Each structure stands twice: as structure tokens, then as C-alpha cells.
Amino acid sequence: MTSTAATGTATTTATAARVVDAVKVYGRGDTRVRALDGVSVGFPAGRFTAIMGPSGSGKSTLMHCAAGLDTLTSGSALIGDTDLSTLDDRGLTLLRRERVGFVFQTFNLIPTLTVAENITLPMDLAGAARDDEWYDALIDVVGLRDRLHHRPGELSGGQQQRVAVARAFAGSPDVVFADEPTGNLDSRSGEEVLRLLSGTVRRTNRTVVMVTHDPVAAAHADEVVFLADGRLVDRMTDPTAERVLDRLKAFDTRTTSGSLSPEPRS
């Protein structure tokens, strides 16, 4: 077990990824935007965390910096105990390939490869040996066994996103980051993908961090962290869609930064 002493909040849970005093500034002069304004947040291992907040609040920026897709202006981003600022480009590429999984809104599958080849592509690129037991279990969890030799174009959107989820988990990464994973899906397929994400976390003790606009999607998470104006303003454990929606409405009617009453921690 590790503690999150660096964030000032002692917990008994290991932290898969975290940012500490994260500041991200885009542009300069008149066009300068402080997208992250001193965010410290940890994403516990074995849990499903959703990041929510109004448009422009910094959700994607937080995810990209936490995942090593972008760099902070100041502060730290860590995957496990690895401070991403200590890595050069090659180190970051390796970290993203070996320790982080990604699910994007637009599936990002390779159309000429089969489902099976898409799922193992990151491992194949990394030259990593396949863990047959985990791969087999994963194929059953995502329900794709009878589609393994199909191409993505022969699958529905929901099925393609399930392939993307399997690909993200295939190499047993420390954390899977999902950016609006249901944004391109109808509500039924979206629901399936969310159940798949939350089920994989619960059944196999994996870690997922998801950016979403959708309170129904966020309700599948164990915890929701809320951003406003580049700051962490609230957290909610065991969310329901109604409670998340109520909390979001509060952003519209009140001064956001730090003014919301904190959710009792469990």
C-alpha cells in the first residue's frame, strides 16, 4: 500500500495516477488560458473515477497531462511512483505504451487489422509477450470471441468500442484513460460499454479514469471529481445520475471556484 501524502490526503489505497499542484497554461499574452490552475488529485488503483465539469473546465487537459499525452507548465504528474517530468520523449512513449491504456471517443481502430490483431497491437508494438490467461479472460469479458477474425468495418459502433476497451486493457496497464468513450454511441451501446468498463474494474481490479459530459455515464463510476475553471471543486463517491446532475446544475447558478460544499468523504 502507498499513501498519497504528496496530495495532502492520507489514504490506505494505492494511487494509480495523480497530479500534484498541476498548472497548465496555453498561449501567451491576450490569448493566455490557465486550463489547470493548481489541481491536486489522485486516482485510486482498482477504482473507476469520472472527471466532470462544465465545458472548458480543464477535463481533457487534466486527462492528457495525467496520461503523459501533454506536459504540465508546473506541478507534477505521476503514474504509480513515476514522475512523468523525469522522462524524456522515448521514456514517455514507452510509459504510454506499457503502463497506460487509452479509449477514445472515435474508437481509433486500424481498419485493415482483425479484431484480434487490433487488441494485441500495443503489445505487439512493445514486443511484449501475451499473457494468454488474461487475454482469454478479456475476450470473454468484452464478449468478442465470435468476432475475433472480423475487421472493424464489419462491427457496430458499440462492438468497435468494445474492441478498443479490450485493446486498452490487453497489456495490463496501470491505468486506462477513457475520453468520452460513449460520445459516439447510441444510449444502449453506450450503456454496454460503461458496464464493460465498470465490470472490468470490479471483476479484475483494474483502474479507469474517464472524462465525460454525461451524468448517466458518470454514475457508473465509483467516484466523480468535478472541475471548474481549471480547479478541483468537488468529489462525489457512489454517484447517481440524479446527484451528479444536481451538482452540475450548481455550477450554473453559483460561483464555482472552491465554493461548493464538499461531499463527505467515505
Among 8, 12, 32, 55, binds ligand ATP (CB under 6 A): 55
Asked if 57 is part of the footprint of ligand ATP (rule: CB under 6 A), the reply reads: yes
Asked if 26 is part of the footprint of ligand ATP (rule: CB under 6 A), the reply reads: yes
Cβ distance 85 to 76 under 8 Å?
A: yes
Asked if 58 is part of the footprint of ligand ATP (rule: CB under 6 A), the reply reads: yes
β-strands 223-228, 231-237 pairing? antiparallel
Asked if 71 is part of the footprint of ligand ATP (rule: CB under 6 A), the reply reads: no
Residue 192: C-alpha distances to residues 6, 159, 233 (Å):
36, 9, 30
Nearest approach, Cβ of residue 35 and ligand ATP (Å): 3
Q: Nearer to ligand ATP by C-beta: 73 or 237?
A: 73
Asked if 59 is part of the footprint of ligand ATP (rule: CB under 6 A), the reply reads: yes
- Which parts of the chain are beta strand (E)? 15-26, 33-44, 48-52, 74-79, 82-83, 100-103, 175-179, 208-211, 223-228, 231-237
Q: Nearer to ligand ATP by C-beta: 33 or 126?
A: 33
Number of H helices, E strands in the chain: 8, 10
The DSSP-derived string for 148-177 is TTS-GGGS-HHHHHHHHHHHHHHT--SEEE
Nearest approach, Cβ of residue 203 and ligand ATP (Å): 29
Asked if 53 is part of the footprint of ligand ATP (rule: CB under 6 A), the reply reads: yes
Q: Nearer to ligand ATP by C-beta: 25 or 148?
A: 25
Asked if 125 is part of the footprint of ligand ATP (rule: CB under 6 A), the reply reads: no
List CB contacts of 21: < 8 A, sequence separation 6 or more.
38, 39, 40, 74, 75, 76
Nearest approach, Cβ of residue 259 and ligand ATP (Å): 18
Nearest approach, Cβ of residue 139 and ligand ATP (Å): 32
Asked if 109 is part of the footprint of ligand ATP (rule: CB under 6 A), the reply reads: no
Q: Nearer to ligand ATP by C-beta: 61 or 256?
A: 61
3-state SS, one letter per residue, for 24-64: EEECCHHHCEEEEEEEEEEEECCCEEEEECCCCCCHHHHHH
- Give the whole-angstrom CA distance, residue 118 versus residue 144: 12
Size of the site for ligand ATP (CB under 6 A): 12
Stretch near ligand ATP under the rule CB under 6 A, chosen from 25-33, 117-125, 163-171, 254-262: 25-33
Asked if 35 is part of the footprint of ligand ATP (rule: CB under 6 A), the reply reads: yes
Stretch near ligand ATP under the rule CB under 6 A, chosen from 15-23, 57-65, 91-99, 145-153: 57-65
Q: Please give the residue ranges that form the binding site for ligand ATP (CB under 6 A).
A: 26-27, 33, 35, 53, 55-61
